Structure 1
Amino acid sequence: VISTTDFFMPIVDDPFTFGRIAATNAISDIYAMGGTPLMAIAIFGWPLDKLPPEVGQQVIEGGRSVCQEAGMMLAGGHSIDSPEPIFGLAVTGRVKIEHLKENSKAQVGDQIYLTKPLGIGILTTAQKQKKITNEDETRAIDTMCQLNDIGCKLATIDGINAITDVTGFGLGGHLSEVCLGSNVAAVIDYNKVPILPNIKDYLANGCSPGGAQRNFDSYGHNLSPMSSEVQSIICDPQTSGGLLIMVSDSAQAAFNEMMTEAGFDLEKIGEIIKLDNDKPLVQINVE
């Protein structure tokens, strides 16, 4: 039995969509462990003096719709009167012990894959600043509402050594955690990293979230030197981001077959390498 919880304040205006995003994000840790979600309870805070309860009900219904998509029940929850809206889930799942995936088991030689493009933090910042196009806003929402349910299928493949989901610490932070926990290092081919369209334009227009700089301040010492643009993307905090998957050579064929059948078209973005204390923990190659 595995359990996780996550919740946050709205990052979009539409209450139903907020509920969907928050629920998708909360379930993600179960999938990252290779698990199947069984049930969830809601964590809900609502400013009753500012917003009508009917709007809050739309948030809950958005969360319920994602739970149904994930094949589990939203079995109640707890609500409080709070200064700002908050919503999330506490999720219970299950996984066979031999299939449990952790973020501390990466091995030298593993190929690294990422299932969702980066840039969500930049686009949600652009949305707050009212600089985002309708097309890019829709693209961001669709990305955040995409379940990471491929994780529970990947768990059955021997040789997928580690999985984690990329969320608030960005790619650089979550990959650093994998490397530190596994006593390895990583090299990333930046040109292969999936990035949402138009991200560079939004960065040029001042849409880098404050969280990206805080992330860099926290773990930038683990990364090789890079331009401010690359830094903003590598450290961009993701909401309901993709799975970061470490795949051994022996599992490569089965992994490729499963991902293709599931509709993914992935390129490896890097490789796990031997730790060298004289070199950066995570090397970002831009050329």
Structure 2
Amino acid sequence: MDMSRVAEQGLVLLGCGKMGSAMLAGWLDHGLPASSVWVIDPYPSDWVKSQGVNVNTALPETPAVVLVAVKPQMMGEALPAIQALGGGGSLFISVAAGTSLATFEGVLGQATPIVRAMPNTPAAIRQGITALVGNDNTSDAQIELAENLLSAIGETVRLDDEAQMDAVTGVSGSGPAYVFHLIEALAQAGESHGLPHDLAMKLAKSTVAGAGALAIAADEDPSQLRVNVTSPNGTTQAALEVLMHEEEGFPDLLRRAVKAATERSKELSRE
């Protein structure tokens, strides 16, 4: 990842909780000098303080990038600190959920290049996937720079339109929780058939993790992988007849779950 311009001009990280720290760790590992990073956070962790980055000090005049990683609720009080950097040569990247490009433009000025991104929690172990979209002022080179920075925490995908962000929130943003609940429910089902709690949980975790890894590594798509492991009249088929049930199975359940998350995302962005 080409960090030379960012290293020269500096990167400002507004908010350095779990997500900010995961990104910072990735950038430092990719060779971004600690002295080129400014962190603004009211409660920086001991880890952040020990990295050699500039913490809560005066900001450079025109940093290459300002990355906004505060929780949406804290956005109001955090933005004035960076307002002065808007409208100029600094690229803003926001990973704050539910905060639209228009909201940022209102605070930073219409001329500011802004990329809105939606990562997810596996970013903490650099297994995230981040969807991103730029406003009208972002160049292709700036979107590429944003992709480069966000690739420190996993995969990236570009959206055609900001309107897709609510559905992305429903699928990958909130999605890890659906998978955690699947693991939880699968383990409980194993326990109800006589497996000890720890064994059932270990089997459930490794099964979901392994199947996910296989889905990414395999050339076939997941529906073909499912067919491959389903022998006629076998145990898997018996289970899938329950899970693939039209009215009560996974397809309908997940459609409703993703719809609920997508609708809530739309509501939050209007509040």
TM-score band by shorter chain is: under 0.3
Q: TM-score, normalised by structure 1?
A: 0.26
Larger Rg: 2
Larger helix percent = 2
Structure-2-length-normalised TM-score: 0.27
Higher relative contact order (CA 8 A, sep 6+): 1
Higher strand fraction: Structure 1 or Structure 2? 1
